[in-house]
Structure 1
Amino acid sequence: MDVIFLGTGAGLPSKERNVSSIALRMLQEMQSIWLFDCGEATQHQILHTPIKPRKIDKIFITHLHGDHIYGLPGMLSSRSFQSGETPVTIFGPKGLKEFIETSLRVSGTTLTYPLVVEEVSEGLLFENELFQVTAKKLAHGIDSFGYRVTEKKRPGELQPAKLKAAGIEPGPVYRQIKEKEQITLADGRIIFRNDFIGPEKPGRTITILGDTRYLPELKTFAQGSDLLIHEATFKGDDEALAFDYFHSTTRQAARLAKAAAVDKLVMTHISSRYQADMLEQLLEEAREIFPNTALAQDFYQEEIPQK
């Protein structure tokens, strides 16, 4: 499982940064890619990565400002021309459904796959056998949400020594034991999986926050995340400016990461006012508070290894 930052700028594209979009690749886990936001030219950014649009089956929109949604109509349309046939579900604030339906209708676009738009509120949005996604309301002038992706615990490793000690030799039966809670052996014995498997493995958690003022109470939502992705539109001493524009600073992102005891912080949504010679300062401001911090550039990639 890894994250690719397709766009890391704030407000409008620049020569150095495109506008917001993040791809979460879960190809080994379930052959799936999820997008978080889809700013203008996201599909152009995808062309510079290994991402195949037909693998994108869920899109989570944090809020409806243009730098987070203007790439949606084009990306959805192009997916039809790139062998996309499987359903896509898009989650986002109220008004998203109208935006998508109007864009597709006015442009005469017909999709080759089913499209479902779910307008969200706080709480559990999605759950399957491997993951669950919850949403949290932020503070950005218009409705804006953060998303917490939690991988469920995974079964522990099979214990071959215990199996051999019980007279069960290696073979297809080992796989059956791992996959089923109990099986009946050829000799009539009933074998319970829990007797021959190690402790469950903890899942991974990624918290992705949309545009927001600094909210200390978000530490509960982000608590213990393996990766926290937080906007850092302004430099550390511009807290008043950040508040006025409903955004956060580098230091505020770092304070939240520290309070939430996350493993790593990646800052994104960087204002174009900060040129290349300022980036090291932005990074150091955050690292003074939370050392394990990175500042994302377009196409920056972060792997979240299994525990």
Structure 2
Amino acid sequence: MEIIFLGTSSAVHSYDRSHPAIVLKAFGEVMLFDCGEATQKQLIFAKVSPMKISKIFITHYHGDHILGLPGLLQSMNFRGRETPLTIYGPKGLLKLKDAIYNLGFCKIDFPIEFIEIDDGTLIETEEYIIKARKVRHNVINMAYSIEEIKKPRFLREKAIELGVPVGPLFGKLHKGFEVEVNGKIIKPEQVLGEERKGIKVTYSGDTTPCEELIDFARDSDILIHESTYKNEDKDKAEQNFHSTAQDAAKVAKESNSKKLILTHISTRYTDCEELLNEAKDVFESTELAHDLKVITI
């Protein structure tokens, strides 16, 4: 699993920070979370083909999170994309779709499905689950979690001991199906080890610290949390329904997350190390995101 930060600024670009966008490469897919202005350019620098993006998840409709989407979709079409694309976002996504399709001389010939979402499970496959949860911002904002489904280890020797021949029946048992061997039923639980927890990544989008996010991010391996302000500007954070770096650290600590990544940094700060240090005072396992930062899990 690989996380690539394409943009890590807040409302305004800076010399070295672009608008929010994060790529997740996992399970044989490329997924994009938010699509701020300059996302196309950042994809080039990150060596990620937009043609391979299968799903896009929008947290909310402030411009810094969506203004890259019209251009990205038109570029995909210009390059001859035929593969379907699915875009998820809170209520209002269909209005955004209409705006995109009516912007200039827009031509999009490949299939795109726009899905308005609410709290709950969005996707569940044999490999992963993606969920969404409303958190607290001054507009509707969805946090997202991606959790790997990790199967218990297959106890090969135990299966052989029970008379299961080496071959396709091993796979069926590992997938949770009973098999019959010489008139005897072998159940999966007889040949599988203990349950294993897969990797969990949670992305806050824009939010003030809240119990909803603490609960949603519970036991995350990686919590990506907006950290727009320093402590000295906490009043601005509260007025604008954003978080300080230390707020993010408290959410990480209370949710029992393993690692915190700070992003969505205000351009008012030239020394971002101060935000990092303020977070580390509360939660030591904290890193500061920067554009094109890559995390491999």
The TM-score normalised by the length of structure 2 is: 0.91
Distance 1:212 1:167 in 2: 55
CA deviations on 1:163-222 (whole Å, 9 max, x unpaired) are: 33334454454334434612334x554433322222232122211111122224531121
Q: Which residue of 2 aligns with 1:265?
A: 260
Q: Which residue of 1 aligns with 2:21?
A: 21
Distance 2:90 2:162 in 1: 56
> Aligned AA for 1:260?
S
Q: What residue ranges of structure 1 are gaps of 5+ in the alignment?
A: none
Backbone CA RMSD of aligned residues: 2.1
Distance 1:180 1:134 in 2: 24
Distance 2:174 2:135 in 1: 42
CA contact (8 A) 1:137 1:145 kept: yes
DSSP-derived class of the 1:283 partner: helix
Q: Which residue of 1 aligns with 2:154?
A: 158
Q: Does residue 2 of structure 1 match 2:9?
A: no
Q: Which residue of 1 aligns with 2:279?
A: 286
Q: Which residue of 2 aligns with 1:71?
A: 68
CA contact (8 A) 1:54 1:85 kept: no
Q: Does residue 301 of structure 1 match 2:294?
A: yes
Q: Does residue 86 of structure 1 match 2:79?
A: no
CA contact (8 A) 1:73 1:100 kept: no
Q: Which residue of 1 aligns with 2:199?
A: 204
Q: Does residue 48 of structure 1 match 2:48?
A: no
Distance 1:130 1:2 in 2: 15
CA contact (8 A) 2:229 2:244 kept: yes
The TM-score normalised by the length of structure 1 is: 0.89
Kindly state the Cα deviation for residue 45 of structure 1 after the two structures are TM-superposed.
Answer: 0.4
Counterparts of 1:116-195 in structure 2 under 5 Å?
116-152=113-149, 154-168=150-164, 170-179=166-175, 181-185=177-181, 187-195=182-190
Kindly state the Cα deviation for residue 100 of structure 1 after the two structures are TM-superposed.
Answer: 2.5
CA contact (8 A) 1:181 1:194 kept: no
> Aligned AA for 1:194?
E
User: Structure 1 residues 10-19 or 74-83, which shifts more?
Assistant: 74-83
Kindly state the Cα deviation for residue 13 of structure 1 after the two structures are TM-superposed.
Answer: 1.4
Kindly state the Cα deviation for residue 271 of structure 1 after the two structures are TM-superposed.
Answer: 0.8
Distance 1:148 1:295 in 2: 20
Q: Which of 204, 207, 213 lines up with 1:218 in the alignment?
A: 213
Distance 1:132 1:176 in 2: 22
CA contact (8 A) 1:63 1:93 kept: yes
User: Structure 1 residues 128-137 or 14-23, which shifts more?
Assistant: 128-137
C-alpha distance 164-205 of structure 1, shift in aligned 2 (>3 A): same
Counterparts of 1:223-242 in structure 2 under 5 Å?
223-242=218-237
DSSP-derived class of the 2:186 partner: strand
Moved over 6 A (4+): none
CA contact (8 A) 2:135 2:212 kept: no
Q: Which residue of 2 aligns with 1:103?
A: 100
Kindly state the Cα deviation for residue 71 of structure 1 after the two structures are TM-superposed.
Answer: 0.4
Distance 1:262 1:48 in 2: 30
CA contact (8 A) 1:53 1:84 kept: no
